[in-house]
Amino acid sequence: MHRSFVPALSCSGVTVQYGPVTAIAGLSIEFAPDLIHAVVGQNGAGKTTFARVAAGLVRPEQGQISVNGRPLPTGSVPNARAAGVELVHQSFALPPSFTIAEAMEFGSTRPGGIFSGRSLARRWKSHLRSLDITADPNSRIRDLPIEIQQGVEIARALVTESKLLILDEPTAVLSPSGIDLLFDRIRRLKSMGVTVVLILHKIREVLAVADTVTVLRGGKHVAGPLPCTELESASLARLIIGDGTTVREGGDIKALTGADAPESFERTAVPVTETPARTTAPLLEIRAVSTAPDSEGPPLSQIDVTLQPGEILGVAGVEGNGQRTLVRAIAGHADLISGTILFSGVDVTRENLTERRRQGLRIIPFERNTEGLSLTSSLWENWSSGALLQGSLLRYVRPAQMRASCDTTLSRWDVLYHDCRQSAGSLSGGNAQKLILAREIDDEARLIVAAQPGRGLDVGATAFVWDALRSARDRGCGVLLISSDLDELFDISDRVLVMLSGRSVGEHSAPYDLQAIGAAMTGANQ
């Protein structure tokens, strides 16, 4: 690229390792001053790591960061701030009990001293006004609507005359109108001479606000900064998702498991699901459900989902688009504003999870090690907990008997272990997931919600999980499979629903069109 400027931020050859995982590899990018730059990529592309390196939070193994042409010692937040680089985190970092003025003072590098609430409010009033934050400087951050909270975070980042502002997924927590407000704010910053780097994953938003876009994939620099004016959303989606060469041939389970895969992993063609008689009510019906916003991710907005018995419905989407809230809503953990949830035609909107489980709901939660298992407890306790929760708390139990049936079940599920009194934390990831499957896919299971069931597993274990979900489906269970791995979804789903910002943005059936789904996931077709 023709260079006629001193880059506001440049990194060259930056590599970050997290243990055995390479988060970013040899990243070299230059960002021109006074522009709005977007950095995009799928989950795990290394966007956040890049932001953290630039802000000095992460020290790279290799590489150099320069600000306005001057090299910056890496891995030091004070140095980065002194050079004018500020990062606004995806999850807000200011103490909720602070007032706005206190947050500004907290962000400033002014030497401390004694101050009163009134003097603080006076000091920061004009700064806040210049950034269009009209809320009372003495109001507490926790009392503010989320858009204003984000505005305060940005204002906090700008108290030090910062010249380079990095925003990590700033739109993830906002409503559409909040996003418009944010973009206005960002354009104003640009006019004030601030260079803005936005970490985003929605193409629609990139094209709406950014001047240039840089694409990362798998920790590597794919393209950019490209001027947005020359880009079309379809070609950008292709850059983000990849050109298809990384996508496996549909259904090629052999290639996935390796040649020596056990017999049980073998699979003939995806069984054609007979359309169940529509006279029976669907297993799961979510009608126009909206949830209240909370800290665990974007809320659902008027989402409809229908799942028939004997069907695997895949839920695709870039992570953080309400999938977690969807699972929480099905579990009865989310705060519903409107809509109804029905299991086999029975309204369970007001039922708690114990009652829903009684009706056959089973959940393989997102976080295996924290939500799925108690790692310091024994295998048999973990395994028996699902059944124990269905009865009276004072029921007499015989641990020896439960251990014996635990042994029987776990060996049927091919879990590798020595003694069912060993702790769940001593199992490998794949065996831990099998333990959860053994608990959740029991004879009474009818509706199985599997959230990222293959994450972090090796190919053999992943294939086992898929096989388990398939055979549950073939027994007549309905499976809702949430995954950000499109290959996984395409391979075993009968239908795929795409989620974006808490809404369902289309349903696809095999043969799946990667481009179309990729576009829907990133919002390019909106």
For another protein, the binding residues (CB under 8 A) are: 331-333, 352-354, 357, 363, 365, 370-377, 381-382, 384-386, 388-399, 421, 423
Q: Which is nearer to another protein, 267 or 356 (CB)?
A: 356
- Could you give the CA distance from residue 413 to residue 93 in angstroms, rounded to a whole number? 43
User: Which residue's CB is nearer to another protein, number 119 or number 377?
Assistant: 377
CB–CB of 17/61 below 8 Å?
A: yes
Rounded to the nearest whole angstrom, what is the least distance from the CB of residue 348 to another protein in the complex?
Answer: 13
SS (H, E, C) 68-108: CCEEECCCCHHHHHHCCEEEECCCCCCCCCCEHHHHHHHHC
Closer by beta carbon to another protein, 150 or else 382: 382
| Smallest separation, CB 461 to another protein (Å) | 20
Least Cβ distance, residue 388 to another protein (angstroms)? 4
Q: Which is nearer to another protein, 1 or 394 (CB)?
A: 394
The residue among 230, 166, 236 whose CA lies nearest residue 205 is 236
Q: Is 72 exposed, middle or buried (0-12, 13-18, 19+ CB in 10 A)?
A: buried
103 CB neighbour count, 10 Å cutoff: 25
Single-letter amino acid code for the residue at 501: S
A 10 A CB-CB count for 455 gives 17
> What's the closest the beta carbon of residue 443 comes to another protein, in angstroms?
17
How many CB atoms lie under 10 A from the CB of residue 264? 12
- Alpha-carbon distances, residue 196 vs 157, 162, 175, 363, 510 (angstroms): 12, 10, 21, 41, 41
Looking at beta carbons only, is 213 or 364 nearer to another protein?
A: 364
- The alpha carbon of residue 51 and the mean position of all alpha carbons in its chain are separated, in whole angstroms, by 17
Distance (Å) of CA 387 to CA 65, 358, 396, 433, 473: 55, 10, 13, 18, 21
Comparing CB distances to another protein, the nearer of 130 and 369 is 369
Shortest distance, position 504 Cβ to another protein, whole Å: 24
- CB closer to another protein out of 247 and 387: 387
Cβ-based nearer residue to another protein, 384 or 431: 384
**Structure-block tokens of residue 462:** 């992943």
Q: Distance between CA atoms of 98 and 372, rounded to whole angstroms? A: 35
CA dist 283 and 263 (Å) reads: 31
